[in-house]
Chain A
Amino acid sequence: MPEDTPVIPLLHYSLTRKSAILPPVTMTMKKRLLAFLIAFSLLLSTPSLLRVPRVLPFFDAEVRAAAPMMLNSLRERGMWLVNTDLKDVIKDAEGICFLWDHRYTAVERSFAPEILTTCTYD
């Protein structure tokens, strides 16, 4: 048996057949490919892009400064931070409030989601 005979012939055949069927990629095809992939990547990014409004308040230095205290408030209630997701940040004359979506996850039971609020003036 020749030295380079593949051990998994079917797999090797199917991969090399593709080389024979598909034509070589031209420059125009490459440009279209990249354009398609950019569009597809943005589509895949949609769930993240929908979260952008939640992140915008963190451009405010006061909100950023308040964030560790807000997380500590959750910890003092015994919350698992991985079970919380920031929904909104409300800033008014009294102070700053963070609204959290809390969904406790476990195996045996499903727990109802709840909205938690932590504020700088608590």
Chain B
Amino acid sequence: MIEREKRLLLGMLAALGVLLRVTDLGVPDFATDEAQAALASSAAWTPLGMGILKNVTMLFGQEIIVARSVSALFGIACLPLIYLLTREMTKKTDIALLATVIAALFPTHILFSRLAYLSIQECFWWLVVLYAFLKAKKEKEMFWYLLLFAATVASTMTKTQDILLPAFLVIGRIIELRMKVLRDTLSWILIIACIPFGFFFLTHPGISATLFLYGGNMYGVSGPFARIIDLATVWWKLLGIYLIAMAASLPALRTFPWPFHALLLVAVLTGYLLGPGHEYYATHLVFFSIPIATALLRSDASLRIAAMGLCTAYTLLTLGPTSLFLNPWTNHLYQKTGFWNQNAAAINDLLKEEEAVTVLGDAGHHFRWYLAPRVLVGRDMIAPYQTQYLILTILAEAPKAKGGTVILSSEELALVKLEVQDE
């Protein structure tokens, strides 16, 4: 049993985790995926996650901080869910508390609670789905059945890969019940809840096109060894000692029910299958806070205190408020204010008379967020260009701007004004 003082300390650490999720929201530039979500313009995602971001920014202001606040709220909301889920599985308050604190301090969950990626919304809905699944399985009550349905619909309509958890849960029930699964209410609820997703998939060719475009290279299982190395490298870079804690907690997984194993499998597989280099998939590893807490509570008190101290220190070093904790180990996104956040106004001032500008090189969606003129994607365009100004994002594109005048040049881009053609 944990004494009152220890619970107070754990409560303070949880509060620290909550505060860290609303810190430095405006420091990094809006990334291409963040802009894509906030502008609700992805052909490969289901609409709910993007829709929430877009509507919130329309209501409260089209600012980066507003968009990222959505993730912060979802990230904070994940914490009581971790508590409830752990308590449901272990029936022990002390494990639930400790798991919540570890989740509160989990670096990748903090990081992506500060950014407008959809991975945090994904985490939230997966936690609701699993909690509702376990409650419905045990108590067989209408409320839990309806919550399971609603959460599964919301999850699958947040991001396309969210279908993986319901699919794994159905497969798990088939293994558990065999032919009796045909009369299993839980399985049918999960399947029926995926109907809207199914129709969306069939009537939006962009999803299939994206799978086709990236299948076999970024998506899939090609180069399995290289994928594992990439995954381990990204995880180590972002999680450090938390990765060691995850590995040490694996024996504790024996005590958990198979649906939780399904959740962990989905958390790991999304990164492995869909792009090991994508840091945002590491958000899902926060679910390992539950077995980590279980393993820690089985160990000596001195080891437990040392581990929590090291974890807290690691989190503060890498993701502490930059005004207090800026150091060489601070996450690269927070080492300095982003280029676009500092220079977008000046670039827009140079382009204020222009209706459109052409981007040559990597034209991410953040260009549409930051630039006032309409942005044309110059990759497949052929000169002469329709616009007077070109933005070059890589040096290799320089020959296409031959004869132009460089107006602005930096590490990120060059702004070139083309000569006006005589008629």
Residues of A at under 8 Å CB distance from B? Answer: 1, 3-8, 11, 15, 18-19, 22, 24-25, 29-30, 33-34, 37-38, 41-42, 44-45, 48-49, 51-52, 54-55, 58, 72, 75-83, 86, 104-109, 111
Q: A7-B97, A54-B203, A106-B374 are in contact. List 18 more A-B contacts (CB 8 A).
A: A3-B92, A3-B93, A6-B93, A8-B80, A22-B141, A33-B142, A34-B185, A34-B192, A45-B200, A51-B203, A78-B377, A78-B380, A79-B377, A80-B368, A80-B377, A106-B368, A109-B372, A111-B374
- Which of A1, A49, A55, A75 makes the CB contact (< 8 A) with B379? A75
13 contacts between A and B (CB under 8 A): A3-B94, A19-B141, A25-B141, A41-B153, A44-B153, A45-B198, A48-B203, A55-B202, A58-B205, A75-B377, A81-B206, A104-B368, A106-B369
B60 at the interface (CB under 8 A from A): no
B358 and A78 contact, CB distance less than 8 A: yes
A48 and B204 CA atoms in complex are apart in Å by 8
B174-206 interface with A by 8 A CB criterion: 185, 188-189, 192-193, 195-196, 198-200, 202-206
Dominant secondary structure at the B interface:
helix
Across the interface, which residues of B come within 8 angstroms of A24, CB to CB?
140-141
- Which of A4, A8, A37, A82 makes the CB contact (< 8 A) with B193? A37
B193 and A41 contact, CB distance less than 8 A: yes
Per the CB 8 Å criterion, the residue count for chain B at the interface is 59
A59 and B365 CA atoms in complex are apart in Å by 32
B 362-405 binary contact with A (CB < 8 Å = 1; else 0): 00010011111011111111100010000000000000000000
B139 at the interface (CB under 8 A from A): yes
In the A-B complex, list the 9 residue pairs whose CB atoms are closest, starting with the nearest.
A78-B376, A48-B199, A75-B380, A41-B195, A51-B203, A45-B199, A82-B41, A44-B196, A48-B203
Across the interface, which residues of B come within 8 angstroms of A49, CB to CB?
199, 203
Decide: A4 near B143, CB < 8 A? Known: A44-B153, A48-B203, A106-B368.
no
B42 and A82 contact, CB distance less than 8 A: yes
B205 and A55 contact, CB distance less than 8 A: yes
A5 and B92 CA atoms in complex are apart in Å by 8
Decide: A37 near B189, CB < 8 A? Known: A22-B141, A24-B140, A78-B377.
yes
B 193-231 binary contact with A (CB < 8 Å = 1; else 0): 101101110111110000000000000000000000000
Residues of B at under 8 Å CB distance from A? Answer: 1, 7, 36, 39-43, 62, 80, 83-84, 87, 91-94, 96-97, 139-143, 145, 149, 153, 185, 188-189, 192-193, 195-196, 198-200, 202-206, 358, 365, 368-372, 374-382, 386
Minimal Cβ-Cβ distance residue in B for A45: B199
A111 and B41 CA atoms in complex are apart in Å by 15
A11 and B80 contact, CB distance less than 8 A: yes
A104 and B411 CA atoms in complex are apart in Å by 28
Minimal Cβ-Cβ distance residue in B for A5: B93
Across the interface, which residues of B come within 8 angstroms of A44, CB to CB?
153, 195-196
Decide: A6 near B87, CB < 8 A? Known: A37-B189, A106-B369.
yes
A5 and B7 CA atoms in complex are apart in Å by 12
Closest chain-B Cβ to A41's Cβ sits at a distance in Å of 4
A48 and B141 contact, CB distance less than 8 A: no
Across the interface, which residues of B come within 8 angstroms of A4, CB to CB?
91-93
A44 and B198 CA atoms in complex are apart in Å by 11
Closest chain-B Cβ to A54's Cβ sits at a distance in Å of 7
A77 and B193 CA atoms in complex are apart in Å by 40
Decide: A11 near B84, CB < 8 A? Known: A5-B93, A18-B143, A55-B202.
yes
Across the interface, which residues of B come within 8 angstroms of A7, CB to CB?
7, 83, 93, 96-97
